[in-house]
Amino acid sequence: MFVLGIDPGLSRTGYGVIESSGSAMRAVAAGVIRTDPDLAVGTRLFELHRDLGDLVAEYQPEEAAIEAVFVNKNLQTATTVGRASGIAYLVLASAEIPVAEYSPTAVKMAVAGYGKADKDQVQKLVSMRLGLPEAPKPADAADALAIAMCHLQSRKLKAVGR
């Protein structure tokens, strides 16, 4: 089974594809989709739509997971992340791919066992658990892999009735 993890953002959207077979997980791809901040927001969202669509077509994930959008102190940031998240949902719904959403705390808890783990800890644990020679960079790519890992762990817990 292939799972696509998405860490949404307008400037940078992280993505990670994990193949899972039983208890084994393997990173298939990870990276970042970048948009030019000098372009109009609509153009940037269109580019994100196109590039996410290309990823879905290439890897054909059976399920996807997205990090939930939270409003902290900066409403503008939450708004732009929400727009990118909406585009991701649109692409996945168009491809009839089921989507789960996880809070940043849930993702950190699943990967690190601690809901307040920092970015470096998450990157190191993602690389260790997936057997990668080094931590995925940039952090958005590692976060996307962590989101996919969280989803796979959640599926396993649901399967055993927890």
Judged against a pLDDT cut of 70, whether residue 72 lies above it is answered with no
pLDDT given at position 73: 67
Task: Choose, from 38, 58, 67, 143, the residue flagged as catalytic.
Answer: 67
CATH number of the domain bearing residue 25: 3.30.420.10
Query: Residues 73-97: what's their mean pLDDT?
Result: 90
Residue 78: is its pLDDT beyond 80?
Answer: no
Q: Please tell me which residue in 58, 120, 140, 143 is annotated as part of the active site.
A: 140
Tally of structural domains, the chain: 1
10-23 pLDDT per residue, tens: 999 999 999 999 88
Q: Determine whether 67 is an active site residue.
A: yes
List the beta strands (DSSP E) in the chain: 2-7, 12-21, 24-34, 63-67, 99-102
Which residue range forms the structural domain that includes residue 21?
2-159
Burial label for 138, CB within 10 Å (0-12, 13-18, 19+), is middle
CA–CA gap between residue 100 and residue 110 (Å, rounded): 14
Clarify whether 120 is annotated catalytic.
Answer: no
Q: Is 54 a catalytic residue?
A: no
Q: What is the pLDDT of residues 88-141, one digit of tens each?
A: 999 999 999 999 999 999 999 999 888 888 888 989 999 999 999 998 889 999
| CB 135, CB 91: distance < 8 Å | no
| pTM of the full structure | 0.93
Bridge partners of 66, per DSSP, are 6, 101
